[in-house]
Amino acid sequence: MGQIAAGSQQKMHGIWAGRWTFILAATGSAVGLGNIWKFPYIAGENGGGAFVLVYLLCIAIIGVPVMMAEVLLGRRARKSPIYAMSDLAREAKVSRLWCAIGWSGALAGFLILTFYSVIAGWALAYVGKMINGDFVHAAPETVGNIFSTLLADKGGLIQWHSVFMLMTVGVVAAGVTKGLGVAVRVLMPLLFVLLFVLLWYSSQYGDFSRGFNFLFDFDFSKLTWSGVLVALGHAFFTLSLGMGAIMAYGAYMPSHAEVSKTVVTVALLDTLVALVAGMAIFPIVFAANIEPSAGPGLLFVSLPVAFGNMDSGLLFGSVFFILVSIAAWSSSISLIEPVVSWMVESGRFNRVGAISLVGVTAWLMGLGTVLSFNDWADFKPLLGMTFFDFLDFLTAQIMLPLGGLFIALFVGWKMSKASVREEIAETTDIQFDLWLQMVRWISPLAVAAVFVFLLWDKFLSGWWAALIALI
């Protein structure tokens, strides 16, 4: 069955040229704004070290096992997530309700894309500002002002958001297996090199030891249960897990490729990029007296200060923001591929029609995020959050972890062990059983525990204390 399905899939969407193309494409999806923009600022907001440790633990004990589960689901079914889940539920003879994994994933990807495109637009805007020399010898306050001016300029934000959305639509319209593999082969390594250049700069000119201590000094008193949920959510976000992106890419993975090694490689590369980005950014943050908890602007304020004062900073700075934009691009494609490939498989749309419709809708909704940084900055109807904060919270902290939880439960408990084993054939029995136990118990329980503790911390502990006080 696998062979036949693979054949028709190959005709409809294409197949990766080999294991390394899959690794690069999955890394392209994983490495993005999450690593370079989001990780440093949420680490800053949540006090640093202890947060980073929890995040790394989440990657290792939840992220990697769940990612293997997601890849194997996609590769076994060789269809887009929604249809994949419906086939696999039938194969496992369980309720079709399991398709909800596909549906909620498609929705989460769409919602993330709406704000992802706006933030990627900031990076695009910064390419122009870099080339223009706006940051040459700029003091931190000047850079801060340039950034706030950008945020206040709705027209400009919308323009860059549109450019980025068009770039995404363009690649998805052409089919992700065509151009992407090649692009990623050249550009990802270049991004690595540039991050190391930045790391070198910050070790020379930044407050390196303070930056290092901030990221790796495990002070648990600074960490709250909400911080733990942020770390967990980010582990999913940064690995592109819990919404079917990796499942969709897994569907194009050659049958002979080894799922386990491939996934570990992707997770390691992704973590490396985040840590290097953090180590490049924080020493500069401290040397320039910027607050580590500055929020979403952290990257956009700290790095231009560094580039502005660096020899050849103009060149490095422009190339850096071009690469960040490209990293965001290769990620945004994977956010929307599940929905588009589902629409194509349904037979009601062709690729171009599907992506045009989805692209326009996501663009429109992105306007809400644009406004969150200016006109609507004080409009917080949803849990006291702006539109952007709410979308980020809903997707990263609720939908992705829940998606991951159900993916783990499905693979661990619902699929027959034989079919799972067929997809993870390369491991020894012991390794396989270890992984299976993680997927069955550790990953779901860890996700559930974070939710329970958070609920307790936020609501129940207050009531409990009140109740005790009453008695």
Residue numbers at the binding site for ligand TRP (CB under 6 A): 29-30, 32-35, 109, 112, 237-238, 240, 243, 245, 331, 334-335, 400
- d(C-alpha 369, C-alpha 386), whole Å: 8
Bridge partners (DSSP) of residue 385 are: 382
Least separation, in Å, of the C-beta of 39 and ligand TRP? 8
Q: Is 242 left (phi over 0), alpha (psi -120 to 50) or beta?
A: left
Least separation, in Å, of the C-beta of 271 and ligand TRP? 11
Helices (H) and strands (E) in the chain, counts: 24, 0
- d(C-alpha 391, C-alpha 109), whole Å: 11
Least separation, in Å, of the C-beta of 109 and ligand TRP? 6
- 384 burial level (CB within 10 Å; 0-12, 13-18, 19+): exposed
Residue at token pair 């560094």: 306
Least separation, in Å, of the C-beta of 352 and ligand TRP? 22
Nearer to ligand TRP, 25 or 33 (CB): 33
Bridge partners (DSSP) of residue 382 are: 385
Are the C-beta atoms of residues 435 and 68 closer than 8 Å to each other?
Answer: yes
Nearer to ligand TRP, 335 or 454 (CB): 335
Nearer to ligand TRP, 21 or 427 (CB): 21
C-alpha separations of 66 from 49, 397, 413 in Å: 25, 16, 13
Least separation, in Å, of the C-beta of 281 and ligand TRP? 15
Least separation, in Å, of the C-beta of 342 and ligand TRP? 15
Element (H, E) at 301: helix 298-308
- 137 burial level (CB within 10 Å; 0-12, 13-18, 19+): exposed
Are the C-beta atoms of residues 186 and 10 closer than 8 Å to each other?
Answer: no
Least separation, in Å, of the C-beta of 296 and ligand TRP? 13
Nearer to ligand TRP, 38 or 129 (CB): 38
Least separation, in Å, of the C-beta of 58 and ligand TRP? 14
Least separation, in Å, of the C-beta of 463 and ligand TRP? 34
Nearer to ligand TRP, 328 or 371 (CB): 328
Nearer to ligand TRP, 243 or 411 (CB): 243
Nearer to ligand TRP, 208 or 236 (CB): 236
Element (H, E) at 154: helix 154-174
- d(C-alpha 243, C-alpha 232), whole Å: 15
Closest CA to 77 of 45, 101, 51, 55: 101
Least separation, in Å, of the C-beta of 335 and ligand TRP? 5
- d(C-alpha 71, C-alpha 326), whole Å: 24
Nearer to ligand TRP, 92 or 107 (CB): 107
CB atoms within 10 A of CB 111: 19
Nearer to ligand TRP, 130 or 245 (CB): 245
Q: List the structure tokens of 196.
A: 């190391």
Are the C-beta atoms of residues 33 and 191 closer than 8 Å to each other?
Answer: no
Nearer to ligand TRP, 31 or 285 (CB): 31
Nearer to ligand TRP, 23 or 30 (CB): 30
Question: How far, in whole angstroms, is CA 291 from its chain's centroid?
Answer: 24
- d(C-alpha 113, C-alpha 337), whole Å: 11
Helix, coil or strand: residue 315: helix
Least separation, in Å, of the C-beta of 467 and ligand TRP? 39
Residue at token pair 């090649």: 182
Q: List Cβ neighbours of 60 (8 Å cut-off, separation of 6 or more).
A: none
Are the C-beta atoms of residues 332 and 28 closer than 8 Å to each other?
Answer: no
Residue at token pair 């490729």: 257
Residue nearest to ligand TRP (CB): 34
Least separation, in Å, of the C-beta of 269 and ligand TRP? 12
Nearer to ligand TRP, 112 or 436 (CB): 112
